[in-house]
Amino acid sequence: MWINLNGRKLSIEEISSFSLAQAKTDFEKSTIEFCQAWLRGQQQFTIQTSGSTGAPKKITFLRKQMEASAQQTIRTLQLKPGHTSLVCLNTQYIAGQMMLVRSLLQNMNVIAVEPSSNPLDTINRSQQIDFAALVPLQLENVVSNSIKSLDKIKNVIIGGASLSNSLKEKIKDLACNIFATYGMTETISHIALQKLTGSSVQEYFQAFEGVSLHLDDRNCLCVSANYLQQEIQTNDIVELINDRKFRWLGRFDNIINSGGVKIIPEKIEHAFEKIAADNAITQRFYVTGIPDEKLGERVVIIFEGRPFAHSLQERVIKEVKEQLTKFEVPKEILFLEKFAETATGKIKRKN
């Protein structure tokens, strides 16, 4: 097993003795620091959440919990010793750290590169990769700029945010196995996968063996697993198909109460995705509620960047009216120069 860290190929012995003073970037430092702690048998790890749905907090996990979670992915994707994994996520957070755990646990070789919008740009095109993790923005950029580079990757997991329908459409016929993941720091990374490519595309998430699911009175998902110390009550609204299959609908935190009607903004966003693509609108956007004297909250859609033509604004609203109820149609289109983001690049809807 070896780790290629930003172009420097190091053996496990060299990683163990590597001085953190030699690290050239924060990514190198956090990657080496985590690997060294794991290799010397550290039994507890404290990990910070990204803060996408609340204030960032620190959570401590036992080594055996992280190993059990990692083994779920290893078994499902049939990862083998000697395989090569690509680590291009921030290794200060759970997603990047669990990529390291899976690799170390299964004696896979590691290519670790600085997180960027298109991490495959820095990798030799002839390099075969068996396992990689990307966020949707990275996948979008890879698909737009170098889609053929995905042919060299066998398995790709996508997490951190939901994928747009347009992106799902672009990747569905690719040869590599691409999976959307469901999970969070509290569940020690993902607990369910959804196949997005090939002949077996899934319309739902399938939880790993040993994971059981049920809904609370808000229709939010509750997760139990033999390696979790307690049941995890999420704020994710889902359609539960059975105790191991579900469709993700949106976040309870984001619900808009407009005139007594509860509205899931993610449903409106899905409708806007195709309309935006059809009208060549490439700006990021999200739907939220803002205070309204009569309604309590009114539905608005906020685009990032400069305002586009008023005639185009009217056209997209007209088109979305054909797909949504009158309560769901945004009352206004707003623009922000730049969206606030978490440390892991997720949009902060509420500041």
- Give the E-state strand segments of the chain in sequence order: 2-5, 8-11, 44-48, 58-62, 84-87, 109-112, 129-134, 153-158, 177-184, 189-195, 205-207, 211-215, 220-225, 232-242, 245-251, 256-258, 261-263, 285-292, 296-304, 332-336
For residue 236, being part of any structural domain is answered with no
What per-residue confidence (pLDDT) applies to 51?
59
CATH number at residue 325: 3.30.300.30
Q: Identify whether residues 175 and 300 lie together within a single domain.
A: no
- d(CA 14, CA 204) in angstroms, rounded, equals 43
The last residue of one of the domains, among 176, 210, 244, is: 210
- d(CA 128, CA 258) in angstroms, rounded, equals 51
Q: What is the pTM of this model?
A: 0.90
Taking Cα atoms as reference points, which of 205, 263, 246 lies closest to residue 76?
205
For residue 248, being part of any structural domain is answered with no
- d(CA 299, CA 267) in angstroms, rounded, equals 12
Q: Which residues of the chain have pLDDT under 70?
A: 50-55, 350-351
For residue range 299-338, what is the model confidence (pLDDT) as tens digits?
Answer: 999 999 999 999 999 999 999 999 999 999 999 999 999 9
For residue 244, being part of any structural domain is answered with no
What per-residue confidence (pLDDT) applies to 50?
66
Contacts of 53 (CB under 8 A, 6+ apart): 235, 251, 253
For residue 125, being part of any structural domain is answered with yes
Q: How many CB atoms lie within 10 A of CB 15?
A: 20
For residue 21, being part of any structural domain is answered with yes
State how many domains the chain has.
2
For residue 344, being part of any structural domain is answered with no
CATH number at residue 204: 3.40.50.12780
What per-residue confidence (pLDDT) applies to 56?
74
